[in-house]
Amino acid sequence: MEKIIDIEDRIPTLREKRRKRTNKKFIFLITLFFITLFLLLYFQSPYSDLKTIQIKGANLVDENVYIEQSKLEVGQSMWSFREKEIEENLKTLDWVKNIEVNKKWLTSVEIKIEEWQKVAYISEQNVFYPILENGVIFKESSTTAPIDAPIFLSFEDSELRKKLLKELADLKPTVSALISQINATPTESDPYAITLFMNDGYEVRAEITSLAEKLNYYPSIVAQIENAGEFEKGIIDIEVGTYYRSYTKEYAYKYSDDLDITNADEMIEVDASTTDNNADTDEKEVLADE
């Protein structure tokens, strides 16, 4: 037989449940009220104003240049702008590669900048201007010869510069660091001919279209030359094949009227077609003079 519960016995339990539901609704409404009040007070108070603008990664120009371009101002509301808007403003700068803008806490904005790197300098009327990875000439002038990247001379053709920059980007860092200056030395038969002056004293004659492919063997070529005998510094020609001639012989050919050219030593051919996988500077056989 089922037990019958009188409704009067259940009334206290129902009242308690109703009271708990009412309390929950009240707490929710009070919480919502205070949150809304806090937000209203926050947006109307100085606590919602932008206090600091942090710039990270600025090397080519002063941080103030980026702040001005972003159109951000200390004191404006943190909620009066969107991060994407600031990024679009800064991406219009030719030397900016990538931008990331983030709001930090409630009063700060952090701007992370990735600039195009300087890969060379170009000399115009004794003034040196950096050339960036993307081919842009950055008009920050200096009359002091730079030491952190090679100098370009006689490269007025922008397309020629871009081809050369592409080749330089494919060079090993240890090789590109050895280049001091690159001169455009075109001829009627070869418009891409260039001459490179290296920090270790050698001069390299090359062609832009095959520069990276051949110049990456430079440490190995020098090792062969210096280990094959008592060779002085000289000219390494990698335009077609790989050949070496000392400065003494090169300039004797050019400037000596008394020199019997038929008896002079020929250029030495260097085998740079292969390299050892274990090192770039392994010795290789230098072919004997003909």
What pLDDT shows up at residue 217?
95
Burial class (CB in 10 A: 0-12, 13-18, 19+), 36: exposed
Q: Model's pTM, two decimal places? A: 0.66
The residue ranges of every structural domain in the chain are 47-115, 118-269
Q: Which CATH architecture has domain 47-115?
A: Roll (3.10)
47-115 and 118-269 share one CATH topology? no
What pLDDT shows up at residue 4?
57
Q: Is the pLDDT of residue 279 over 90?
A: no
Q: Check: CATH 3.40.50.10960 for 118-269?
A: yes
Lowest mean pLDDT among 37-46, 53-62, 215-224, 228-237: 37-46
What pLDDT shows up at residue 3?
56
| pLDDT tens, position by position, 169-201 | 899 999 999 999 999 999 999 999 999 999 999
Lowest mean pLDDT among 48-57, 95-104, 181-190, 255-264: 255-264
- Top pLDDT among 265 and 52 is at 52
Burial class (CB in 10 A: 0-12, 13-18, 19+), 265: exposed
Which token pair is 70?
Answer: 């972003």
Angle at 59 between CA 57 and CA 62, to 5 degrees: 100
- The rounded distance, in Å, linking the Cα atoms of 261 and 84 is 69
